Amino acid sequence: MNPNPTKVVTRFAPSPTGFMHVGGVRTALYGWLFARKHGGTFILRIEDTDKKREVAGSIEHIVESLRWLGLEWNEGVDIGGPHAPYKQSERLASYQKYARILIDKGYAYPDPYTEEEVAVFRQRAEDEKRPFLYREHRPEVFGAWDGTKPLRFKVPMIKRYEWYDEVRGELSAGEEALDDFILIKSDGYPTYNFAHIIDDHEMGVTHIMRGQEFISSMPIYLSLYEALGIDRPRFATMPPIMAADGKKKLGKRDGAKDVLEYRDEGYIPEAMVNFLAFIGWNPGDEREVMTTNELIESFSLKHLHKAGAKFNEEKLLWFNHKHLQRLSSTEFEARLRAFLSTTDMQAPTYLAQVVPLLQARAQTLMEAAQMLTGGEFSFMAETTFPTKELLLQGAKADDVSVKTHLQKVITLLQDLASFDQGSVKEVIFPYATEVGRSAVLWPMRVALSGMEKSPDPFTLAGLLGRQRTLARIEKALQLL
Ligand code: GLU
């Protein structure tokens, strides 16, 4: 229970049924941002009461995904906390306790029917085109519950329920949604409907943030809060994530993949967080590229959209590029090295020298790694050497004038006080403009890279440094 009711407590409560897709991660992110914004607590709870649906390794995967994104929890599975354990399968005693309270109050009873009998009731309702309501078959007298039969809730009153949704405003639903749902199954595990209410209450959760698929069950949740005599928390319904065409909910075929796949493709967590935050929310101003701290500061449930928000991978790529560019070059290099170490690509010796180029161009760490190891910068090693044909190919000038120009380039560069991309450009560019740009810049570039395509000659000279630049031009001159 929450000893300090003004303190915000949110939770992310995934079921360990597979990988973490973007929808789940975004729910976690909003809960985390909201808790951080209000100096509150963020809990990671695992809802593993449906053993049939459980997928081995999911919990580790959830933990790894959230950690990668930096969404650290204050309490939860693997770190514990004042309300441990944080796995529902280990909290059965707690559900039993509340089940007994309900039985004692006359609000719970063992289901006397077999599954087959319930199936017949359901079929009959379907044949008669009526909604199936278990409560219409509620037995008159309740036996004692020995745990071998499902325990059902006896919904105390059939009435209309109203509640406030922090995103959608005033909502209400009536009797059609109220029924004697199962609290504890015959296998001893609670249902989601029961367990989450007990856990949220015991853990002092103040705000429940979850998908719209739970709205239709709100009356049964509200009737259970009432029967238990516990306060309702606040509710916030997340906007659904739609496929890029905006027409249907995002499915696996539209790119709803495992969030860790993005890490392996070279996306960085701050970009992913920024991108996810903007699916269904905005800060209420023009800003788009935001750090995680800026997101925390600006976050508010009031700016969550009611309607579905589109998932657009191109936008993710754009965010990633922007966030890569915001890193310091040391940080970029560190991230790139860490990324390379997870692949079979090897970092070449000149990695540090080409970092500025990679950082300006690559949209993902994978792209940077591929530029680095794919031969694009192989001119950085000593091995490349041009041919005469290539030196002249784009020069639009004969070998004699190309020779003169390269000699002039040597003279201009040899006495430069400081040698970098900018100072090289400052002396070469005016000369090239005067005598013909392609006649100077093409052969200079080819002399330095040995390649038909490469960065511009000033960048190359800056990367190679004075000695190697002059040596390569000298070598090229011998071809002419
Ligand atoms: N265990 C539920 C799910 O994974 C969580 C719903 C909730 O947040 O209450 O869908």
pLDDT for position 2 = 61
pLDDT band at 3 (very low <50, low <70, confident <90, very high): low
If asked whether residues 97 and 149 sit together in one domain, one would say: yes
- Enumerate the H helices of 203-328 as residue ranges: 218-228, 259-264, 269-277, 292-298, 313-326
Domain-embedded: residue 217:
yes
426 domain-assigned: yes
Contact 196, 50 (CB under 8 A): no
Do 185 and 102 lie in one domain? The reply is yes
CA atoms within 13 A on the CB side of 292: 15
Where does a domain end: 206, 225, 242?
A: 242
What pLDDT band is residue 447 in, cutting at 50, 70 and 90?
very high
pLDDT value of position 119: 94
The reply to whether 70 and 166 lie within a common domain is yes
CATH of the domain at 218: 3.40.50.620
Domain final residue, candidates 242, 258, 292: 242
255, part of any domain: no
Q: Does 140 map to a domain?
A: yes
Q: Cα–chain-centroid distance for residue 181?
A: 34
Instruction: Indicate whether residue 196 lines ligand 1 (CB < 6 A).
Output: yes
Name the percent of the chain lying above pLDDT 70. Answer: 98
pLDDT of res. 384: 74
Alpha carbon distance 198, 225 (integer Å)? 9
Whether residues 362 and 393 fall in one domain: no
Indicate whether 123 and 201 sit together in one domain: yes
Under DSSP, is residue 280 helix (H, G, I), strand (E, B) or coil?
coil
From the list 51, 247, 252, 302, the catalytic residue is 252
Assess whether 342 and 434 both reside in one domain.
no
Does residue 45 line the site of ligand 1, with CB under 6 A? Answer: no
The reply to whether ligand 1 has any atom less than 6 angstroms from the CB of 75 is no
Pair (358, 398) in one structural domain: no
In this structure, what token pair is assigned to residue 316? 């993710």
- For residues 289 and 174, what is the distance between their CA atoms, to the nearest angstrom? 43
Residue 401 has what pLDDT?
Answer: 96
Where is the domain boundary, 182, 213, 242?
242
pLDDT, tens only, 60-105? 999 999 999 999 999 999 999 999 999 999 999 999 999 999 999 9
Residues 468 and 391 in one domain: yes
Are the C-beta atoms of 167 and 211 separated by less than 8 Å? no
Placement of tokens 């709100």 in the chain:
218
What separation in Å is there between the alpha carbon of 14 and the centre of ligand 1?
5
229, part of any domain: yes
CA 282 – ligand 1 centroid, Å: 24
CATH of the domain at 446: 1.10.10.350
Q: How far is the CA of 11 from the centre of ligand 1 (A)?
A: 10
- In the predicted model, is pLDDT for residue 479 greater than 70? yes
Whether 84 is in a domain gets the answer yes
Total domains in the fold of the chain: 3
Same domain, yes or no, for 115 and 160? yes
Q: Is residue 103 part of a domain?
A: yes
Is position 475 annotated as part of the catalytic site? no
Under the banding of pLDDT at 50, 70 and 90, the label for residue 255 is low
Task: Look at ligand 1, atom 2, and give the residue with the nearest C-alpha.
Answer: 14
CA of 58 to the centre of ligand 1 (A): 14
The candidate with the shortest Cα–Cα distance to 363, out of 322, 327, 321, 333, is 321
Mutate to test the pocket of ligand 1, among 42, 189, 196 (most ligand atoms within 8 A of CB): 196
Distances in Å between the Cα of 361 and the Cα atoms of 38, 264, 321, 322 are 38, 19, 8, 11
Q: Which pTM was predicted?
A: 0.90
92 and 132 share a domain?
yes
Give 399-408 pLDDT, tens digit per residue: 999 999 999 9
Q: Which domain holds residue 416?
A: 380-477
The residue to mutate among 55, 86, 192, having the most atoms of ligand 1 within 8 angstroms of its beta carbon, is 192
Condensed to tens digits (0 to 9), the pLDDT of residues 163-217 reads 999 999 999 998 888 999 999 999 999 999 999 999 999 999 999 999 999 999 9
| Closest to 271 in 3D by CA, of 364, 368, 360, 372 | 364
pLDDT tens by residue, 291-300: 999 999 999 9
Contacts (Cβ under 8 Å, ≥6 apart) of 284: 298, 300, 303
Asked whether residue 67 is assigned to any structural domain, the reply reads: yes
Closest ligand 1 atom, residue 200 Cα: 9
Give pLDDT, residue 74.
98
Name the region of 215 (left: φ>0; alpha: ψ -120 to 50; beta: rest).
Answer: alpha
Tens digits of residue pLDDT in 12-66: 999 999 888 888 999 999 999 999 999 999 999 999 999 899 999 999 999 999 9
Say how far apart CA 339 and CA 355 lie, in whole Å.
14
Give yes or no: residues 366 and 445 share one domain.
no
Cα-to-centroid distance, 97 and ligand 1 (Å)? 22
CA 346, 350, 355 angle in degrees (round to 5)?
Answer: 95
* Residue 13 Cβ < 6 Å to ligand 1: yes
Same domain, 435 and 467: yes
